[in-house]
Amino acid sequence: MPAGTFEILIVDSGSTGDTVNELADLAAETPNTRLVRLDRPGVSIARNAGADAATGDYVAYIDDDAIPTTDWIEQIRAAIIAIGGVPALLGGRILPLWESPLPGWWPSKLRGVLSIIEAEGRGIYRSRTMPVDLAPYGANMIVHGAMMRSVGGFGDGTGRDGRTLLSDEDVQLAWRLQDAGYAVCYDSRIVVRHQIQASRLTPDWLLRRMYWQGVSSVATKRLIGGNRRIWWLLPRRLSVALLLAPTVLLPRHSVRLLACRWRLAYSIGFVRATLSASSMRALAS
């Protein structure tokens, strides 16, 4: 596709050292590319800044460790046309590029925490035509800029910022757009390949990731009006945490009883996020 039909924005979100100059050089050397520099890190503020700087109707997001297919932009345009309207958000497939093979102990149901989406087909998220757990990830997500801004964009306090493994900022935006009446769709023809570092394929990383997923799940439910469900789930998460607490004595690098330990990590994150948020509201009232 001719370069004049799209622009490339590189958002430098608070990088330091040699990375600052490397990104500036990359932007200068790449046709039709602009660099947006932010003083503080954060994936959500970076994505908002990219949308604010974009001149087109749609912003196609991709992470710095993802590689689009050669027909990525063409497939995005084809998907938008096929819908026949003006979708607010499109998500696509994210296929893995392994730095090291996925360990045999990795729980098969947790491939998604590595930002992998392998479902094929097209349809509307949270509908009967799509898998029940299918959700868009920011490593391959296209958003209508004006519609995104109409629901407040990405939450500044969500997503990773170099200190935590908070997630779901992309899911939260998608469901807010859908709840506002906009079309939020999936199309597996839109494909990127996600480079998965070997450093993530360890029990310690998985346990940290699941703890923060528990925290993120509470935030997502709260933002889409699921406060009652949070409190309904709390006794179950407390029970799981108490029942599986002895497994915390195992070394972080061990794969023993990992199915119990990742559930414990998730439950602790869920419980702490629920109770700390309620305590803050009580102090403010």
* Contact predicate 156/48, CB 8 Å: yes
Q: What is the pLDDT of residue 1?
A: 61
Give the total residue count for the chain: 285
Domains of the chain, first to last: 3-194 (3.90.550.10), 203-284 (no CATH)
Distance between the two ends of the chain, CA-based, in angstroms?
Answer: 56
Q: Which amino acid is at 221?
A: K
Distance CA 169, CA 154 (A): 6
SS (H, E, C) 118-176: CCCCEEECCCCCCCCCCCCCHHHEEEEHHHHHHCCCCCCCCCCCCCCCCCCHHHHHHHH
Q: What is the pLDDT of residue 227?
A: 85
Distance CA 111, CA 257 (A): 18
* The model's pTM: 0.89
Closest Cα partner for 263 from 284, 237, 282?
A: 237
CA–CA distance from 112 to each of 32, 53, 94, 115, 235 (Å)? 33, 30, 10, 5, 26
Residue 177, C-beta contacts closer than 8 angstroms, at least 6 positions apart: 88, 89, 143, 147, 148, 151, 184
Q: What is the pLDDT of residue 4?
A: 67
For tokens 């998730």, the residue is 266
Secondary structure (DSSP) of 230-270: HHHHHHHHHHHHHHHGGGGGS-TT--TTHHHHHHHHHHHHH
For tokens 């925290």, the residue is 215
Q: What is the pLDDT of residue 284?
A: 36
Q: Which amino acid is at 220?
A: T
Spell out the long-range contacts of 238-243 with Cβ–Cβ below 8 A and sequence spacing 24 or more.
Answer: 238/267, 238/271, 240/264, 240/267, 241/267, 241/268, 241/271
28 SS3 class = helix
Spell out the per-residue pLDDT of the chain, length 285, in tens: 666 678 999 999 888 889 999 999 999 999 999 999 999 888 999 999 999 999 999 999 999 899 999 999 999 999 999 998 899 999 999 999 999 999 999 999 999 999 999 999 999 999 998 999 999 999 999 999 999 999 999 987 777 776 778 889 999 999 999 999 999 999 999 999 999 999 999 999 999 999 999 999 998 888 887 788 999 999 999 999 999 999 999 999 999 999 999 999 999 999 999 998 554 344 333
Distance CA 17, CA 30 (A): 21
